[in-house]
A and B are shown apart, each in its own frame.
Chain A
Amino acid sequence: MTDDQLELRLRDWYRAEIPADETAPTALRATLTTIPRPLSVSSRRFASRRGITLLAAAALVGLLAGAAAVGGLLRPPAPPIPAFWTATGSMPNSHVNHTATLLPDGRVLVVGAYNSDGAPASAELYDPSTGSWTATGDMTRGRAEHTATLLPDGRVLVAGGGDSGTARTATAELYDPSTGSWTATGDMIEARSGHTATLLADGRVLVAGAGGVDGAASATAELYDPRSGTWTATANMVERHSYHAATLLPDGTVLVAGGTPAPTSGELYDPRTATWTATGALLVGRWDAIATLLPDGTVLVTGDGEGEASADLYDARTGTWTGTGPMIHGRFYRMTATLLADGTVLVTGGSTASLDGQEYASAELYDPRSQTWTETADMGVARRSHSATLLPDGRVLVAGGIGLDDAARSAEVYEPGRPPSMVLPSPVPSAEPSIAPAAGRIIYTRWKTLASGEEDCTSRFAGFCRRASVAIPNDDGSGERELFPGPSAHVLTVSQDGSKLIVSVGDSDGDHVFLTDADGSEPRLLETHCQSPCLGDWGFNLSADGSRLAFNRTRAGEPGPIGEDLVVATMEMTTGAVVELESTHDNWGRPGLSPDGARVAFGNHVVDADGSNLQQIAPNDLFTDEQFGVFSAGLAPPQWSPDGSLMPSRPSTPLSPMPTRRFSWRYMSSNPTEPGCSDSRLTPIVRAAGTRWATSGRTSPPGPVTGASPSPGTQRARRTSLSSGSWTPTGATRRESTSRLQRR
Chain B
Amino acid sequence: MADSRPAVVEQPTERAEAFLRLADHHLDAAYRLARAILRDSTDAQDATHDAFEQAWRKWSSLRDPARFEPWFDRILVNTCRDRLRSARRLPTDISAEVAITSGDPYGQAHDRDLLADAIAGLSPDHRVVVALRFYRDLPVDEIASRLGIPAGTVQSRLHYALKRLHAAIDTADGKGTIR
Contacts and interface: CB of A to CB of B under 8 A. Distances in A.
Interface of A: 1, 3, 6-7, 9-11, 13-14, 17-18, 22-25, 27-29, 31-33, 35-37, 39, 43, 47, 429-432, 434, 445, 459-461, 464, 488, 490-492, 504, 506, 508-511, 529-530, 532, 534, 536-538, 540, 554, 558-562, 565, 626, 629-631, 634, 652, 655-656, 660-662, 710, 712-713, 715, 717
B94 A715 contact: yes
A630 B106 contact: yes
B1 interface: no
Contact of A28 (B27, B106, B135): B27
B62 interface: no
A431 B45 contact: no
Give 5 closest A-B pairs by Cβ, nearest first.
Answer: A36-B16, A508-B50, A24-B31, A510-B82, A431-B91
Contact of B19 (A36, A509, A629): A36
A22 B160 contact: no
B57 A7 contact: no
Contact of A655 (B30, B101, B125): B101
Contacts of B30: 24
A187 to B, nearest CB: 55
A712 B98 CA distance: 7
Contacts of B36: 14, 17-18
Interface in B55-102: 56-57, 78-79, 82, 85-86, 88-95, 97-98, 101
A460 B49 contact: yes
In which size bucket is the chain B interface? 35 or more
B5 interface: no
Nearest to A44: B57
Name the residue among B32, B39, B116, B125 with the largest chain A CB count within 10 angstroms.
B32
A209 to B, nearest CB: 50
B7 interface: no
Contacts of A31: 49
B38 to A, nearest CB: 11
A32 B92 contact: no
B146 interface: no
B143 interface: no
A530 B85 contact: yes
Contacts of B15: 36
B3 interface: no
B56 A14 contact: no
Interface of B: 15-16, 19-20, 23-24, 27-28, 30-32, 35-36, 39, 41-42, 45-46, 48-54, 56-57, 78-79, 82, 85-86, 88-95, 97-98, 101, 105-106, 109, 113, 115-116, 119, 123, 125-126, 130-131, 134-135, 137, 153, 156-157, 160-167, 169-170, 173
Contact of B162 (A3, A490, A511): A3
Given A28-B31, A491-B91, A534-B85, A14 B23 contact: no
25 contacts: A1-B173, A6-B169, A27-B45, A36-B56, A39-B57, A429-B94, A430-B95, A431-B94, A445-B91, A491-B91, A504-B89, A530-B82, A534-B85, A537-B85, A537-B89, A554-B125, A558-B157, A559-B125, A562-B163, A630-B106, A631-B105, A656-B101, A661-B106, A710-B94, A712-B101
A652 B32 CA distance: 34
Q: How would you classify the secondary structure of chain B's contact residues: helix, strand, loop or mixed? A: helix
Given A14-B135, A32-B23, A22 B32 contact: yes
A532 B124 CA distance: 10
Contact of A538 (B23, B57, B88, B93): B88
Given A3-B162, A430-B95, A660-B105, 20 more contacts: A7-B162, A10-B134, A13-B113, A18-B32, A24-B27, A32-B23, A32-B24, A33-B20, A36-B16, A47-B57, A431-B92, A445-B91, A504-B89, A508-B79, A511-B86, A558-B156, A561-B163, A562-B164, A655-B97, A662-B106
Contacts of A27: 45
